[in-house]
Amino acid sequence: MIKYALVTGGSRGIGRAVCIRLASLGYHVLINYNSNSIEAERTLEAVRNAGSDGEIIQFDVANRAQTANAINVWAEKHPDSYIETLVNNAGIRKDNLMLWMEPEEWDNVIDISLNGFYNVTHLLVKNMLVKRFGRIVNIVSLSGIKGMPGQTNYSASKAGVIAATKALAQEVAKKGVTVNAVAPGFIKSDMTQDLDENELKKIIPCGRFGTPEEVASLVGFLVSKEAAYITGEVISINGGVYT
């Protein structure tokens, strides 16, 4: 029986590393992306190199109709299968001080991280409950735990997903579905390219940024059968930054 996993924002960064990790665990990986098809193809190639297979599924998680259409088309083609693992990873930053934050900067970040979580999760959770097994991992952030200046939008969106993680975990626990959040600190990716690592590493006890692979390794554990008794948790992976 093929095990299917969907990773939103699987074309780059943490999402790509998660796709590769899940492939190495034997999943057939559905690699979602929004606009970067070339990078999504690279992820698919890496998934195949990891010894499994996958497919690319394009949709903008913030677009409810587009998301539903893509997932429903996939489900119609796979009537005897279901997506047992979902990693809600798609996210963006649009930092600004509240004083200057434009409505679009607020809305875009909330729409992708928080509403995107709803748009995808509510479509997949039913089958997980029916089959009595499922794993949902939400990639949140240190910012959603402690709040970061210049990121009221991002902090709010991630804090919202953290609360939803805790609530949903309690709704579905009896049916063998776990829901957890992984909260990275500073991880090397396109998202953090513009940050000064040399300066910021001074506040990180481990003295460096983390890697997408380190985050993916934690996700790999949380989706395993061995992690069945961990649910509703927010697990930090931040090199020792106090939260």
Q: Does position 165 bind ligand NAP by CB under 6 A?
A: no
Determine contact, residues 2/180, Cβ cutoff 8 Å: no
Distance in Å from the first CA to the final CA of the chain: 41
Catalytic pick from 27, 154, 229, 242? 154
Say if CB 139 and CB 182 are below 8 A apart.
yes
Does residue 123 bind ligand NAP (CB under 6 A)?
no
CB 179 within 8 A of CB 136: yes
The Cα 94–Cα 177 span in angstroms is 33
Task: Report 59-98 residues binding ligand NAP (CB under 6 A).
Answer: 60-62, 89-92
1 CB-contact burial (10 Å; exposed 0-12 / middle 13-18 / buried 19+): exposed
| Residue 105 binding ligand NAP, by CB under 6 A | no
Q: By CB under 6 A, tell whether 199 contacts ligand NAP.
A: no
Give the shortest CB-20-to-ligand NAP separation in angstroms: 13
**Amino acid letter, 242:** Y
Q: Which is nearer to ligand NAP, 42 or 175 (CB)?
A: 42
Binding mask 17-36 for ligand NAP (x = CB under 6 A): ---------------xxxxx
Is the distance from CB of 172 to CB of 152 less than 8 angstroms?
Answer: no
Among 52, 115, 121, 141, binds ligand NAP (CB under 6 A): 141
4 binds ligand NAP (CB under 6 A): no
242 is catalytic: no
Q: For residues 49 and 213, give the distance between their C-alpha atoms in angstroms, rounded to a whole number.
A: 15
**Residues that are catalytic:** 154
- Contact residues: ligand NAP, CB under 6 A: 8-9, 11-15, 32-36, 39, 60-62, 89-92, 112, 139, 141, 184, 186-187, 189-192
